[in-house]
A and B are shown apart, each in its own frame.
Chain A
Amino acid sequence: MLDILLSDFFQRALIGGVLIGLTAPLIGIFLVLRRLSMIGDTLSHVTIAGVALGFLIEVYPLAAGLVFAVLASFAIEKLRKAYKSYAELSIAIIMSGGVALASLFFTLGMGYNTDVMSYLFGSIYTLDTTDIYMVGGVTIIVIAVVVMFFKEFFLLSFEEDAASVSGLPVKMMNMIITVLTALVVSTAIKIVGALLVSALLTIPVAISLLLARSFRSSIVLSVIISEIAVIGGLMLAGVFNLAPGATIVLLLISLLIVTLVGKKGFTT
């Protein structure tokens, strides 16, 4: 049993997982608080289309997925402007477009179904050194940008009108958050899987909202919760040979239930 946990592929998955466990809630908190939780889901579906195209034309799949996700993030912002009063329409349109493209590329390249499965549900076996470098690069970018714009992102999430009246470049900051989401999602899908990646963006934040009093403490808490779920979930996946996306998300949901029950116990 310990052999798996000590193996090279598991160590790589652990390094990648810990980095994603850090970046996902760091971006997720700004999405959840701006009521844009579904953006992660949309971008992950589009990323899968890019990954499928990558396999088809024999280009590094994660890079193709990342390009698709970034392009989709621009498209979402454009559509959000076009349908101002119906912002969620942009998410529905881009998500269905992503799934349609993905299924088109799947059917064009019937031979790689096994590999695609790992992108849908995650895998601890598929992360190679290039993937680790990519996750590492994205982690550095995300941390640097969030630290640089921390106070501006706070005001944008708390009250967008006040951010505008303070002269902050609201459109540009919205765009930056969406592009960062695209980066995190496209690098996270190899471990957590496209169908489950949005859980890592949202559930740690959902738990921290129940417990934290301040904005800073909710960020710290959501990162801790995310890391517990990622490390625990990867170990369970390694030991019992399960898809890590499933174990990580189910651990997160268990933590959420425990928090809800515990909180109710304290308040009643």
Chain B
Amino acid sequence: MRRWKRRLQQAATDLLSLPRDTMMSGVSRLTCVDGEQVIVENITGLLHVSDSRVEVGLQDRQLTLSGQNFVVTLVSVGEVHVHGNVQQILYQTKGGVS
């Protein structure tokens, strides 16, 4: 049932040529402004925070931001705002990470 619904959503999105996050729930969105401010929406968890690395859990992936002077300006439900000097944005498929 859920798979069927998801496929229907996928089909509708493709048909209407819409960005995926408008129709489908749980799709993450990353906004990066000038390499200094990163907003990630629809996250599932905050995995790691340090000065130079922020790891965010997504639905089926993991996002790693690398850089310097990271300050997480907001952690809220499904949303994280990071301020700092971003050098690398890395998506990894979930392997051994819980």
Q: Do A and B bind each other?
A: no
